[in-house]
């Protein structure tokens, strides 16, 4: 397959690394702001930007401030903003009814962004954990996370998000059958253009810790999510999940977490050729930020290198908390 290379010194691989312009010329991959989906946390109130301690630089924003963030993202050419609600404690109940309340935080933020920043696309999360008193993504009965009843609730949640005007729905719950059920519900209600970005290969990971702080689910969560999220030991199972979700009507698929699972990204892209995303999750962000704050690594360079790795692994885009910082860095490099 590969042509044989001439022996040294005819071949000197350092020739094409000798200066910045030549390195740019032979670069195999590149990053651009259009690769990013920016996850943001929404909370109640007005005029509030509240730091998340375990995610330095990340804020929980009230709806008016989320609209400002969407404006900022659009100006940086970031194509999609992804909303995660921090639900007030009194709206976290066993029946999770707040999840399909047309006036919940996620839906209010969606309508406000659509009115003020129509050019940005909006992605939302489908899962019950921000609305449950257990911290789990599904209903819990006698200690079991029950699948089919949860899927019914996820359909209602997805429909309420579509009614509010979202462009992309991201089911992150890992219940079986939810992509097909949600797709059918959307088609049935006339939401033909709403996209599904399935969290298809989502692993039961220790790297979600800071996110659970950010959405206020850490305290409630008893046990772990290993009966629905994947075992980090597995690869073939990820391919089966992705294949199934595409067959049920997912438009795009995701691997999550990102950096520890680049092998899965590569294999998914090569196997299916579908739009493939990775989620550089909260713990990955926190590790880089913590080391940078201690002066142990160059944070900006580590950010860029970590994001380039996803492109090299075959991803079409990345969900990352670094989206605005990296977009600014790219704009500066161009200026
Ligand atoms: C839960 C959900 C999680 C994340 C996105 N949606 C956490 C979990 O599964 O417990 C994690 C994102 C991150 O860590 O940045 N539905």
- The pLDDT tens digits for 263-301 are 999 999 999 999 999 999 999 999 999 999 999 999 999
122 lines ligand 1 (CB under 6 A): no
Please report the pLDDT score of residue 4 as a whole number. Answer: 84
Identify whether the C-beta of residue 173 lies closer than 8 Å to the C-beta of residue 138. Answer: yes
Q: What residue spans define the domains of the chain?
A: 31-334
Alpha-carbon distance of 48 to 179, in angstroms, equals 35
Alpha-carbon distance of 163 to 117, in angstroms, equals 18
154 lines ligand 1 (CB under 6 A): no
* Most ligand 1 atoms within 8 A of CB, residue of 150, 170, 172, 283 to mutate: 172
Please report the pLDDT score of residue 218 as a whole number. Answer: 78
**Residue 312: C-alpha distances to residues 8, 31, 58, 122, 335 (Å):** 28, 10, 26, 26, 25
Residue nearest to atom 6 of ligand 1 (CA): 172
Distance 154 CA to ligand 1 centre (A): 16
CATH of domain 31-334: 3.20.20.70
| Distance, CA of 323 to chain centre | 11
Residue 235: CB partners within 8 Å, gap ≥ 6?
263, 264, 267
Alpha-carbon distance of 270 to 14, in angstroms, equals 30
Residue nearest to atom 9 of ligand 1 (CA): 208
Please report the pLDDT score of residue 220 as a whole number. Answer: 81
Residue nearest to atom 14 of ligand 1 (CA): 208
137 lines ligand 1 (CB under 6 A): yes
* Catalytic residue from among 65, 202, 225, 311: 202
Please report the pLDDT score of residue 334 as a whole number. Answer: 87
199 lines ligand 1 (CB under 6 A): no
Residue 58: CB partners within 8 Å, gap ≥ 6?
41, 51, 52, 214, 285, 321
Please report the pLDDT score of residue 1 as a whole number. Answer: 64
281 lines ligand 1 (CB under 6 A): yes
172 lines ligand 1 (CB under 6 A): yes
Please report the pLDDT score of residue 147 as a whole number. Answer: 98
Residue bearing tokens 């899962």: 127
- Does residue 225 carry a catalytic annotation? no
Please report the pLDDT score of residue 143 as a whole number. Answer: 94
209 Cα nearest atom in ligand 1: 14
207 Cα nearest atom in ligand 1: 14
CB neighbour class for 112 (10 Å; exposed up to 12, middle 13-18, buried from 19): middle
Cut 0.85: pTM above it: yes
Positions of the chain with pLDDT lower than 50, given as ranges: none
131 lines ligand 1 (CB under 6 A): no
Three state DSSP letters for the chain: CCCCCCCCCCCCHHHHHCCHHHHHHCCCCCCCHHHEEEEEEEECCCCCEEECCCCCCCEEEEHHHHHHHHHHHHHCCCCEEEEEECCCHHHCCCCCHHHHCCCCHHHHHHHHHHHHCCCCEEEEEECCCCCCCCCCCCCEECCEECHHHHHHHHHHHHHHHHHHCCCEEEECCCCCCHHHHHHHHHHHCCCCCCEEEEEEEEECCHHHHHHHHHCCCCCCCCCCCCCCCECCCCCHHHHHHHHHHHHCCCCEEEEECCHHHHHHHHHHHHHHCCCEEEEECHHHHHHHHHHHHCCCCCHHHHHHHHHHHHHHCCCCEEEECCHHHHHHHHHHHHC
């Amino acid at each position: 397959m590969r042509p044989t290379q001439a022996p040294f010194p005819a071949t000197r691989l350092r020739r094409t690394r000798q200066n910045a312009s030549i390195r740019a010329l032979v670069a195999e991959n590149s990053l651009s702001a259009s690769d990013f989906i920016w996850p943001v946390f929404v909370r109640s109130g007005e005029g509030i930007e509240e730091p998340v301690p375990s995610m330095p630089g990340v804020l929980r924003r009230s709806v008016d401030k989320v609209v400002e963030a969407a404006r900022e993202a659009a100006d940086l050419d970031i194509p999609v903003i992804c909303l995660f609600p921090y639900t007030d404690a009194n709206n976290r109940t066993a029946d999770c009814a707040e999840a399909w309340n047309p006036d919940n935080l996620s839906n209010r933020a969606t309508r406000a962004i659509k009115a003020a920043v129509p050019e940005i696309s909006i992605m939302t999360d489908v899962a019950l954990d921000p609305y449950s008193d257990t911290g789990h993504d599904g209903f819990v009965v006698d200690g079991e996370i029950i699948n089919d009843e949860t899927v019914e609730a996820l359909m209602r949640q997805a429909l309420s998000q579509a009614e509010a005007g979202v462009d992309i729905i991201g089911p992150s719950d890992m219940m079986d059958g939810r992509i097909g059920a949600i797709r059918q519900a959307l088609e049935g209600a006339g939401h033909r253009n709403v996209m599904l970005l399935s969290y298809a290969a989502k692993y039961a990971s220790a790297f979600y810790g800071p996110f659970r702080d950010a959405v206020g689910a850490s305290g409630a969560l008893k046990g772990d999510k290993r009966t629905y999220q994947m075992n980090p030991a597995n690869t073939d199972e990820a391919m089966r999940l992705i294949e199934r979700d595409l067959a049920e009507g997912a438009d795009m698929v995701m691997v999550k977490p990102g950096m520890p699972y680049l092998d899965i990204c590569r294999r998914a892209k090569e196997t299916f050729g579908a739009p493939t995303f990775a989620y550089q999750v909260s713990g990955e962000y926190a590790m880089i930020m913590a080391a940078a704050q201690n002066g142990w690594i160059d944070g900006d360079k580590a950010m860029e290198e970590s994001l380039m790795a996803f492109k090299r692994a075959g991803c079409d885009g990345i969900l990352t908390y670094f989206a605005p910082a990296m977009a600014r860095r790219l704009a500066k490099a161009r200026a």
